[in-house]
């Protein structure tokens, strides 16, 4: 069971509107990058210069331009610069990282978050309401090299008392590992679900027992269980057994599994079938029609393309 506490950040002054080519967005430069601009080398995180200028409008969209800025830690984090020396602002959502967290993993996480928010890659957030909810809820992704580091820092500095109550952890050792599953897909999905998508669609995606997605989960678990059962029914296809994970937590996990299975994230992951059995889009559509109907509803404007850490808006 992962932490879910956090902070918000005021968006800084540097904006990234679009980029040419197929390379992932690394950091922002001091000028807006448009689709007609040549690629530039952006290989390191750099603090954003203090300026209040905004980029020229290049897209028509209902949502705001998606922006990515590498900035100093915000004032609200007080003296936590002793633990965190990296901060990326993704359209008002903070990603903070410890000194030992490789920059490449922080940049990758920012790209994944951007792709979830601007899934059609037109340079603007797909649903402004989602972004507004994430900012209002102070959504923050907290990165460390590994769980031991974050636990040690929390015990010394009471990190999550300062982050607030809308944070999600992600560790460098599990982020885009060579030959392994990219946990950024899961942990960032949890953050956006709990403090964005579910917030604006409470009757459908609410992480409680009264939502449509909870009814779909009960079918997937073979019954309505407020606590982890001693054993799941044989016909269940979602059988998470972490006793620390309450009903809401189980629902967050189910929504992640169902949604990302539809996006193709779980293909070939036979190692997860002890917890989740529908690992292909075809299995998900055939085996979980209730969850599929909800998560494929175009009215919800959920992502339909799996992020790959390569945010390249058109």
pLDDT tens sequence across 106-143: 999 999 999 999 999 999 999 999 999 999 998 999 99
Residue 30: the pLDDT is: 28
**What pLDDT, in 10s, does the model give residues 75-93?**
766 678 889 999 999 999 9
* Greatest mean pLDDT range, 40-44, 134-138, 186-190: 186-190
* Average pLDDT for 60-65: 58
Taking the C-alpha atoms of residue 250 and residue 239, their distance in angstroms, rounded to an integer, is 10
Residue 174: DSSP 8-state? G
DSSP state of 274: T
Q: How confident is the model at residue 308 (pLDDT cuts 50, 70, 90)?
A: very high
Q: Which of 102, 89, 100, 94 is nearest to 28 (CA)?
A: 89
Residue 28 in this model has a pLDDT that exceeds 50: no
Using only C-alpha atoms, the chain has a radius of gyration, in whole angstroms, of 19
Q: Is the pLDDT of residue 245 over 60?
A: yes
Residue 161: pLDDT band (50, 70, 90) is confident
Strand bridging mode 84-90 / 167-171: unpaired
230 has a pLDDT exceeding 70: yes
Tokens of 72: 């100093």
Cα–Cα dist 122/312, whole Å: 9
Q: Are 13 and 198 in contact (CB under 8 A)?
A: no
- Hey, which residues does 124 pair with through a beta bridge? 65
**Would you state the pLDDT for residue 44?**
38
pTM for the predicted model, two decimal places: 0.83
Q: What is the pLDDT of residue 18?
A: 32
H runs (alpha helix) in the chain: 103-117, 128-136, 147-157, 159-163, 184-192, 198-200, 202-205, 212-221, 247-262, 281-287, 289-295
3-state secondary structure 198-225: HHHCHHHHCCCCCCHHHHHHHHHHCCCC
More confident residue, 3 or 173: 173
> 205 pLDDT exceeds 50?
yes
> Residue 97, class by beta-carbon neighbours within 10 Å (0-12 exposed, 13-18 middle, 19+ buried)?
buried
The per-residue pLDDT for range 276-289, each reduced to its tens digit, is 999 999 999 999 99
* Average pLDDT across the chain, whole number: 83
DSSP 309: S
20 or 163: which carries more pLDDT confidence? 163
What pLDDT is stored for residue 158 in this prediction? 85
pLDDT of residue 165: 83
| Domain boundaries along the sequence of the chain | 198-300
Please tell me which residue, 162 or 209, carries the higher pLDDT value. 209
Q: What is the pLDDT of residue 49?
A: 32
**Region of poorest pLDDT, from 46-55, 106-115, 127-136, 212-221:** 46-55
């Amino acid at each position: 069971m992962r932490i879910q506490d956090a902070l918000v950040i005021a968006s800084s002054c540097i904006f990234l509107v679009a980029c040419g080519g197929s390379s992932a967005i690394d950091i922002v430069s001091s000028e807006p990058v448009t689709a007609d601009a040549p690629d530039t080398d952006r290989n390191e995180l750099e603090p954003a210069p203090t300026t209040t200028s905004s980029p020229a409008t290049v897209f028509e969209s209902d949502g705001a331009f998606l922006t990515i800025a590498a900035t100093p830690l915000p004032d609200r984090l007080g003296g936590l610069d002793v633990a965190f020396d990296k901060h990326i602002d993704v359209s008002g959502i903070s990603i903070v990282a410890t000194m030992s967290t490789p920059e490449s993993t922080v940049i990758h996480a920012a790209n994944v978050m951007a792709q979830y928010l601007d899934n059609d890659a037109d340079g603007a957030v797909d649903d402004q309401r989602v972004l507004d909810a994430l900012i209002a809820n102070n959504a923050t992704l907290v990165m460390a090299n590994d769980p031991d580091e974050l636990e040690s820092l929390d015990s010394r500095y009471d990190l999550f008392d300062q982050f607030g109550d809308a944070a999600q952890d992600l560790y460098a050792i599990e982020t885009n590992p060579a030959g392994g599953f990219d946990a950024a897909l899961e942990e960032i999905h949890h953050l956006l679900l709990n403090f964005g998508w579910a917030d604006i669609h409470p009757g459908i995606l609410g992480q409680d027992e009264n939502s449509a997605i909870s009814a779909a989960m009960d079918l997937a678990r073979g019954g309505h269980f407020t606590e982890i059962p001693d054993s799941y029914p044989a016909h269940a296809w979602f059988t998470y057994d972490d006793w620390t994970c309450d009903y809401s937590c189980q629902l967050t996990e189910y929504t992640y599994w169902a949604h990302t299975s539809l996006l193709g994230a779980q293909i070939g992951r036979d190692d997860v079938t002890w917890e989740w059995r529908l690992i292909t889009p075809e299995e998900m559509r055939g085996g979980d029609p209730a969850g599929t109907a909800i998560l494929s509803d175009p009215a919800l404007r959920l992502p339909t393309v799996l992020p790959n850490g390569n945010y390249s808006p058109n």
